[in-house]
Structure 1
Amino acid sequence: MAGNEEQQKDNADSLIADIQKKITEAFDIFDHESNKTVDVREIGTIIRSLGCCPSEAELHDMLAEIEEEEPTGYIRFEKFLPMMTKVLMERRYKPAPEDQLLKAFQVLDQDGKGYLSPEELTKYMLEEGEPFLQEELEEMLSAAVDPDKRVILYKDYVSTMSVEDV
């Protein structure tokens, strides 16, 4: 029995090592000074690149947990790593599955057309729920709008939005 427990511990250690390697690689991309710090404004991008989709409020809470007592505008790797390891180990802030995303678009598509106009999507993204920033909206529309038809064919777009399990 002891051998089995040891094997499980080795597996857990290996999983943690893999997760921490991914976190380190993502952090290092934004560590422009190579001094184990990143601009606080980059943290959301780093977290999302690791397959987590926290809301702005959840992201704010995460930052509050790892920011310096006297905010410097930078986040230190030594504070980010343990927090992010825990988040990934607990599988928090997972993105919505494809079928859920599709249902959300279908709710917005009240006439059942199978698409949304850029104007409709803009209205929903700026006025409902947690509003998008203009920059986020423009980025989303550039990926979502079909270049030929000039509408969002959301069944196609949903598959590009869903994230494979990491």
Structure 2
Amino acid sequence: MASKETSKVIINNDLEKKIADAFEVFDHSGKQTVDVREIGTILRSLGCCPSEAEIQEVLLATEDKEATGSIHLANFLPYMIQKISEHRFYPADAETLLAAFKTLDEESKGYITKEKITKLIMEEGEQFTQEEYDEMMQIAVDPTTDTIPYEYYINQLMVEDDYLQDNSNKTTVTEK
């Protein structure tokens, strides 16, 4: 009987190819396996936005039981096909993001201060890493006012978010 390490996964469609291609970037051995520490990066490269708890869920479902610490494409591919088909791990849509920012903007100014958002994302809930924080601030903060004009920021995010979504489904946010 051939082991998973020697048997190759057969790719049947574009979605499977996209997932396999992202996976194989981190397959340094060429045996269709990756280290479990790479899974978050692989998911994000697919346009997914998983929480740390969701990454752990993927690891529990796909980690190789015989070779702990690694994940084989044969386990990962069907799991991710199912999750992507269910629209799991997708980023929030523009309307949801706008509602969240409006909740934070108690005075309806149309922006959030850098200090307020920094406190929220670095100290409360599922905290950002320094790298995630720096990346967000680079795009989100208006250098002139040192604030986050959230409608503009959301629109910037939506422009970058065409990897898994059809352009016809995009929404531009405008305050009414």
Q: TM-score range by the shorter chain?
A: 0.7 to 0.9
TM-score, with length taken from structure 2: 0.75
TM-score, with length taken from structure 1: 0.79
Is it true that 1:29 corresponds to 2:10 in the alignment?
A: no
* Contact 1:19–1:88 (8 Å) recurs in 2: no
Unaligned runs of 5+ in 1: 1-15
Alignment of 1:78-97 (within 5 A): 78-97=74-93
Q: Which residue of 2 aligns with 1:48?
A: 44
Is it true that 1:130 corresponds to 2:126 in the alignment?
A: yes
Percent sequence identity over aligned pairs: 48
Unaligned runs of 5+ in 2: 1-11, 167-176
Q: Which amino acid aligns with 1:96?
A: A
Task: Give RMSD over aligned pairs.
Answer: 2.0
- Equivalent-residue separation in structure 2 for 1:117 and 1:70 (angstroms): 49
Q: How far off its partner does 1:74 sit?
A: 2.7
Q: 1:85 to 1:107 in 2, by over 3 A?
A: same
Alignment of 1:1-166 (within 5 A): 17-69=13-65, 72-162=68-158, 163-164=161-162, 165=165
Moved over 6 A (4+): none
Q: Which amino acid aligns with 1:131?
A: Q
- Equivalent-residue separation in structure 1 for 2:85 and 2:94 (angstroms): 22
- Equivalent-residue separation in structure 1 for 2:43 and 2:84 (angstroms): 10
Cα-to-partner distance string for 1:39-78 (whole Å, 9 max, x where unaligned): 3222112112223222221221111111122664332222
Cα-to-partner distance string for 1:60-111 (whole Å, 9 max, x where unaligned): 1111111122664332222111111111122222221101101111111222
* Contact 1:106–1:112 (8 Å) recurs in 2: yes
Higher relative contact order structure (alpha carbons within 8 Å, sequence separation ≥ 6): 1
State the number of aligned residues: 151
